[in-house]
Amino acid sequence: MKTKFIFITGGVLSSLGKGLTAASVAALLESRGLTTTIQKLDPYINVDPGTMNPFQHGEVFVTDDGAETDLDLGHYERFIQNPMSKNNNYTSGRIYNSVIQKERRGDYLGGTVQVIPHITDEIKSAILSLASDDLDVALIEIGGTVGDIEGLPFLESIRQLKKDLGKENVLYIHLTLVPCIKVAGEFKTKPTQHSVKELRSIGIQPNIIVCRSEDALPDDVCNKIALFCDVDNDAVFSAVDVKSIYELPLELYNQGIDQKILDLLKLKAKNAELGPWKELVKKLKNPQDTVTIAIVGKYVELKEAYKSLHEALLHGGFANNIAVNLEYVNSEEIDDAHVAEKLKGLDGILVPGGFGTRGVEGKITTIKYARENKIPFFGICLGMQCAVIEYARNVAKIADANSAEFETSTENPVIYLMAEWFDPRTSQKECRDTESEKGGTMRLGSYPCTLENDSLAHKAYGKNEIHERHRHRFEFNNKYSEILKENGLLLSGLSPAGDLVEIVEIKDHPWFLGCQFHPEFKSSPMKAHPLFKDFIAAALKNKK
């Protein structure tokens, strides 16, 4: 089998950066001419993160094929060229659901269904589904922390795969914490030793240990970890705290982690070509200017809820050789009396997506302020819908304009739940259950959009047809398109059939654009999304 597998586990505590470590290693291998992909295995029971509270789990990342996935897949796509799909994210819920369906169909011929072998075989099947003649290395990140009861079936599965595939095709990387006790002035390796002991107790011996720490570990500390954890002296690496996550690939490269991986897996590859990464870090450290952008939403207490958005704005800064300072503003704290105070001194304003009524009126007030004061504005998904509501109320004078999501009895639902629409991907009508409280379906994944010539959108993309990722239920109500256009709202992006409004703009404004899709999901540090690039450019111009 051509594809080799790298399994990445974590110990001591969560949020150490397994996803970023996986993405950085994959980026380094890709820089050496190897084809890579990354898969996230999450131990929680939810079938997918689509219905999970952003405060608990962070953002939901959406792939082209419409899968609602873990936010780490966003890191993966930003670091490597290979796009993710539904096969790159599995949860315990998805695994167990598949096994239960098979049992109900009689696939197991009446046998007793158990964690071993049925659940573990299903997990192994999910992992091995990535293998192909076109893929050199698949990196598999195991969510959670070693020792968590819910993660044991995943760890047992990856233990078995070394026996199934042969040790030359499997490599284990373990990420741990090495704290530094400032008073004593020394690094403590005991947490790492205990974490590796826990991993070895279930039959997995790590080949490489990556140590998360504030500062680089001295050689004697690395040698101590190697001795007590039974790995090579040159197989212990420091994942130090860096100013930007985009510095991590170069930090790991300077320590030689990619060469060690190639040696262990007996892979041949060309020398790393890291020019683009070095240029990126150079831009990071030497910005020519700075702009301040407000993100006005309701999940601002947890920045992870807007992870892709956060990164896409930084990418827009990289493309303009400037730094982007982000200020998160709680939309629930904004009203007519305090909007100027809350948004004073900003170079641009962005209103992101979301669900539900909480904080919506604050977003609408924010958009009015941006429109009237000529501040560059970018509305995404719900942000676009709020822009349509604001424009309908205050410019088209439809005083009670609203979304059917927020007020089901509104007489002027400029945003509503369509009963059906034409899906250009399937060439047929897609229907929604309008009786359901949440709607029978969402528009998920990549859809085409046709752009109006001489619009901000067309200028940004430089072409007439684009494909962008969606995650929403409610749409622009075409019943109001004529009155809004008569009052100056430009519908600059439509679905090919013309029945779905994807982008709205205002012409008499420095930069005012709302899009129904989520452009942040397709932005990367080397290639900023066109809309984010132009939005940041407009904010810089506004500042000057």
Q: Report the b/e string of 362-374 with b at 16+ CB within 10 A.
A: bbbbbbbbbbeee
Please tell me the predicted confidence (pLDDT) of residue 544: 66
Asked whether this chain's domains 4-280 and 287-543 adopt the same fold, the reply is yes
CB of 414 closer than 8 Å to CB of 388: yes
55: phi then psi, degrees, rounded to nearest 5? -65, -25
Please tell me the predicted confidence (pLDDT) of residue 55: 62
**Residues 6 or more apart in contact with residue 133 via CB below 8 angstroms:** 2
Average pLDDT of span 220-227:
96
Q: Looking at 92-159, which runs of residues are DSSP E strands?
A: 137-142
In the chain the first and final C-alpha atoms are separated, in Å, by 58
pLDDT digits (tens, 9 = 90+) for 519-542: 999 999 999 999 999 999 999 998
Average pLDDT of span 181-207:
92
Per the prediction, the chain carries an average pLDDT of 93
Phi-psi region of 144 (alpha: psi -120 to 50; beta: other; left: phi over 0): left
Tokens describing residue 23: 């993405």
Indicate if the pLDDT at residue 509 is higher than 70: yes
- The lowest-confidence range among 108-117, 178-187, 532-541 is 178-187
Average pLDDT of span 180-195:
89
Catalytic residues: 381, 518, 520
Indicate if the pLDDT at residue 425 is higher than 90: no
Average pLDDT of span 348-357:
90
Please tell me the predicted confidence (pLDDT) of residue 436: 41
Q: Say what percent of the chain tops pLDDT 90.
A: 81
37: phi then psi, degrees, rounded to nearest 5? -145, 165
Please tell me the predicted confidence (pLDDT) of residue 182: 79
pLDDT digits (tens, 9 = 90+) for 464-497: 999 999 999 999 999 999 999 999 999 999 999 9
- Third-level CATH fold of 4-280: Rossmann fold (3.40.50)
Q: Would you give the DSSP letter of residue 483? A: H
- The lowest-confidence range among 1-15, 46-60, 139-153, 299-313 is 46-60
Q: How far is CA 66 from CA 84, 443, 445, in A?
A: 11, 8, 4
489: phi then psi, degrees, rounded to nearest 5? -85, 125
Please tell me the predicted confidence (pLDDT) of residue 359: 82
Domain map (residue ranges) of the chain: 4-280, 287-543
- Third-level CATH fold of 287-543: Rossmann fold (3.40.50)
